[in-house]
């Protein structure tokens, strides 16, 4: 997103010089799948708090922004942005990664069933546990999901770098986005491939997430194996030039 908005600002500067073109226009052929808007259009604001600030407490920048928004057209919001308090960006990313053929309804349904299943198991354990053990049982499925994902994120990754005709697996640092992506990808592929024919996706996913929460299970095992490979290849670390 950062690179495309940078591109848009340079484009808008180029376009500003050709002032005749900087009017609200829609192209003759409208692309439906990707949103390629004229840079004249502004981003929508889905958060509720922004609209609840009374007139008197606005800073000058905010007043200017509101005036700009009253004259400029605004892009349509995508389906995934909500003003709901229950909106979770990490969970939305996970839903998008699980989605096949653009069927978000099925993916969202699987995730909600997974959360419900996890909560049911934990609440049942909570109600049956003796008084002393109750505080240790985590019942919040969102907390379990985030913690499990944290436990699956690798710290260091491997890249295939060519040196002298051969390819070496070199340990490299990973960005936060890449780590999150790898954790989610491993979780989803693990649940799709290594399950019994009759278990449903939400059942297997809830089992894996609960196991990852307590640092057991196949996904954290895969993370540890990656770390071990990186540790064993530390001699090649100098092949990295960035």
Point out which residues bind other proteins (CB under 8 A).
84-86, 112-113, 115-116, 119-120, 123-124, 126-128, 139-143
If residue 158 lies in a helix (H) or strand (E), which one and from where to where?
strand 156-163
Measure the N-to-C terminal CA separation of the chain; round to a whole number of Å: 23
Longest CA pairwise span in the chain (Å): 75
What's the closest the beta carbon of residue 85 comes to other proteins, in angstroms?
4
What's the closest the beta carbon of residue 186 comes to other proteins, in angstroms?
23
When the beta carbons of 144 and 191 are compared against other proteins, the nearer one is 144
* Token reading at 89: 């960006």
What's the closest the beta carbon of residue 37 comes to other proteins, in angstroms?
30
* Token reading at 14: 């180029």
For residue 18, the SS3 value is: coil
Q: For residue 22, how far is the Cα from the chain centroid? A: 34
When the beta carbons of 69 and 125 are compared against other proteins, the nearer one is 125
When the beta carbons of 6 and 109 are compared against other proteins, the nearer one is 109
What's the closest the beta carbon of residue 111 comes to other proteins, in angstroms?
8
When the beta carbons of 117 and 207 are compared against other proteins, the nearer one is 117
Backbone angles phi, psi at 50, to 5 degrees: -60, -35
């Amino acid at each position: 997103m950062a690179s495309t908005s940078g591109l848009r600002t340079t484009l808008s500067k180029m376009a500003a010089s050709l002032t005749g073109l900087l009017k609200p226009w829609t192209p003759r052929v409208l692309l439906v799948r990707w949103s390629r808007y004229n840079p004249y259009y502004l981003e929508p604001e889905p958060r509720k708090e922004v609209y609840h600030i009374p007139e008197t407490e606005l800073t000058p920048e905010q007043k200017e922004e509101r005036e700009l928004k009253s004259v400029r057209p605004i892009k349509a919001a995508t389906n995934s942005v909500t003003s709901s308090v229950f909106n979770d960006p990490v969970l939305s990313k996970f839903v998008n990664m699980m989605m096949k053929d653009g069927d978000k309804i099925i993916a969202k349904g699987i995730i909600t069933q997974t959360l419900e299943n996890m909560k049911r198991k934990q609440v049942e354990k909570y109600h049956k546990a003796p008084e002393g053990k109750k505080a240790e049982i985590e019942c919040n499925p969102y907390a379990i999901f985030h913690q499990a994902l944290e436990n699956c994120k690798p710290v260091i990754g491997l890249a295939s770098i060519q040196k002298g005709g051969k390819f070496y697996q070199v340990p490299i640092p990973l960005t936060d986005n890449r780590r999150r992506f790898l954790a989610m990808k491993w979780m989803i592929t693990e649940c799709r491939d290594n399950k019994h024919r009759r278990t449903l996706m939400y059942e297997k996913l809830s089992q894996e997430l609960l196991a990852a929460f307590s640092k057991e299970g196949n996904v954290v095992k895969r993370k540890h194996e990656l770390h071990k490979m990186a540790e064993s290849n530390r001699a090649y670390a100098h092949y990295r030039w960035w």
